[in-house]
Structure 1
Amino acid sequence: MDMLEQKHLALITEAEQRGHLPTANLRLCFEVMALAAAIDRDCATRLAPHNLSEGKFVLLFLLHQLPQGLSPYELADRAGVTRATVTGLLDGLERDGFLARQQSKDDRRKVLVQLSPKGENAARELFDTHTRWIASLVAGFDERDRQTLSTLIQRAWRNTDAGRKAVLTTAGNEIEP
């Protein structure tokens, strides 16, 4: 059984027919994409019984052990999402009883998001379960395997537009968006 999607197999076949070589590079890239998609699907399947998406799960573990809570703005910043996205995620989490929004005692204009007991329990239990599952995806890899794979993934990432932009930004160069 081939792990690649039919559309990727078709593209490889067409590239071979047109004489575009090496198609091995195409196949490898599509294999990485298939792995990432499979991990995303598995993640969604594992979180769905808890009425959670990956985005909601991230907010739960960011709020975990912060009894004072965080503002929606701080959550958006820490999660790397827009304020609009975080608002939608918070609405769902609040509806499902994972958290509550409270007005700040210091500034009534400021809203703080705090986990409910249900949210605390879910964050604690799911974080442990989820991180064990993620780690299991490379079970049997020794340190050398992990380092080799990491190095290769980073090399490929630097060939993406995002990777090149990050390298240039890190180097302190001005770049065009």
Structure 2
Amino acid sequence: MEILEQKHLALIAEAETRGDFATTNLRLCFEVTALAAAIDRDCATRLAPHNLSEGKFVLLFLLHRLPEGLSPHELADRAGVTRATVTGLLDGLERDGFLARQQSKDDRRKVLVQLSPKGEDAARALFDIHTRWIASLFAGFDESERETLSTLIQRAWRNTDAGRKAALTAAGNEIER
């Protein structure tokens, strides 16, 4: 069974024709990319019947068990998205009845985002369902295989621009101490 997309197969074929690339490394990278894309598609398909995207789902579970709520900028920071992105996600969640924005009792300039009962129910139920599904993706792996895969993924990640930047940042932080 071939999991690679036609575009990736074409790139590998061209690299093989030119003979100057490590085509097994290309294939492996495209296989990881295909796995990530399949997981993303499955995730979207599983959340769509609940009128949620992954971003909206993340906000629900971040707000879950916080009856006092959070400000939009706190949510953006915790979700790792921009304030503009969180505003759009909150607009959709509010429109669909999952949450409400309230004025802070302490500071009327501050807005707090709180889950509605519908949002609490969805967060509680979907978190369990969603995390069980994600965990099931590696259910056939023993502990040693999971550790090996994690180590290899982290090793490859360190070869990315993001990984190199993180290493430089960490090194800079060590020097400052």
TM-score range, shorter chain: over 0.9
SS at match of 1:38: helix
Separation of aligned partners in 2, 1:170 and 1:43 = 32
Q: 1:120 aligns to what?
A: 120
Q: CA deviation at 1:140?
A: 1.4
Q: Give the letter for the 2:129 counterpart.
A: T
Separation of aligned partners in 2, 1:30 and 1:105 = 52
Unpaired runs of 5+ residues, structure 1, are none
Unpaired runs of 5+ residues, structure 2, are none
Within a 5 Å distance, the mapping from 1:30-109 to structure 2 comes to 30-109=30-109
Q: 2:162 aligns to what?
A: 162
CA offsets 1:144-168 (integer angstroms, 9 cap, x no match):
0010000000000000000000011
Separation of aligned partners in 1, 2:93 and 2:78 = 17
SS at match of 2:172: coil
Q: Percent identity?
A: 88
Q: Give the letter for the 1:123 counterpart.
A: A
Separation of aligned partners in 2, 1:69 and 1:21 = 52
TM-score (norm 2): 0.96
TM-score (norm 1): 0.96
Separation of aligned partners in 2, 1:119 and 1:20 = 54
Q: Give the letter for the 2:69 counterpart.
A: G
Greater Cα offset, 138-147 or 50-59: 138-147
Give the aligned length.
174
Q: 2:141 aligns to what?
A: 141
Q: Which runs of 4+ in 1 moved over 4 A?
A: none
